[in-house]
Amino acid sequence: MPQPQKDFADLEKIVQVQFNDQELLRQALVHRSYLNENPDFELQHNERLEFLGDAVMELVVTEHLYRSYPNQEGDLTNWRSALVNSRMIAQAARRLGFEDYLHLSKGEAKDEGRARDYILGNSFEAVTGAIYLDQGFDAAKTFIERELLVELPQILKTKSYVDSKSQLQEKAQELCHVTPQYKVIESFGPDHDKRFKVGVYIEKELAGVGEGTSKQNAQLDAAADALRKRNWE
């Protein structure tokens, strides 16, 4: 994938935000790997913006669920997890065309599938952080409501918020008569933003791989991956 040549003014139109500091939007699309190959690049990578955007996104989604639904905490937690998981936010980033604006190393530019989804999901969080810094909370909230919360009715209709680990365990015990086992494959990132990669095994076979900011989130992501690969959804 070639490095982005597109005008970021077009991206401003896509996200419906005219930035005071357009460099924040550009930085939100700079992956760490690009700086490894281009150390003289004028911008930093997007991980600090991603860290900020993740917090803003979780607050907006949590407040919306709290104000809109009288359900118990467990229901709201499951719905929030379904909205802010890596697959959902990657879909939003791809729909918005962020992929065309990413600054990636040559190696990362060749990767597809889950690796690209992970980068795209991080870019959505980083753009959210950039909007928050440049325009304030209300603008970031409007962006999240328009691009992410719009998916909630479909999530509730299809019940896709059901815990993927529970689904996988039920299917594995029913069809294979075994209980899935989870193993941390690796952990990476700075201490304030540690990431985990977890594999889930069924009958000693690696059935799925997931990533997350906690072992629990990575296990949920791995279970969802296994459900998709085995057509057990």
Token couple for 3: 């490095």
Same domain for 129 and 63: yes
Q: Which residue has the tokens 């900011």?
A: 213
Which pLDDT score, from 0 to 100, does residue 159 have?
79
CATH number of the domain to which 37 belongs: 1.10.1520.10
Neighbours of 192 (CB within 10 A): 8
* 117 catalytic residue (yes or no): no
Task: Let me know whether 149 and 172 are in one domain.
Answer: no
**Cβ-Cβ contacts under 8 Å for 76 (sequence gap 6 or more):** 62, 65, 66, 69
Question: How does DSSP classify residue 3?
Answer: P
Domain span at 58? 8-158
CATH number, domain with residue 176: 3.30.160.20
Q: Which of 125, 134, 147, 211 is catalytic?
A: 125
> What pLDDT is recorded for position 162?
74
Return the percent helix, strand and coil in the chain, to nearest 5.
Answer: 65, 10, 25
Q: What is the pLDDT of residue 1?
A: 42
Question: Does the pLDDT value for residue 194 go beyond 80?
Answer: yes
Pick the catalytic residue from 47, 50, 54, 221: 54
Residue 21 annotated as catalytic: no
Query: What's the full length of the chain, in residues?
Result: 233
* CA–CA distance, 119 with 133 (Å, rounded to integer): 21
Q: Is the pLDDT of residue 5 over 80?
A: no
Give residue 2's pLDDT. Answer: 41
The pTM assigned to this predicted structure is: 0.75
Sign of the torsion formed by the C-alpha atoms of 15, 18, 24 and 25: positive
For the chain, give the percent of residues with pLDDT over 90.
Answer: 70
One-letter identity of residue 51: F
In 136-214, where does DSSP find H-type helix?
137-147, 152-158, 164-175
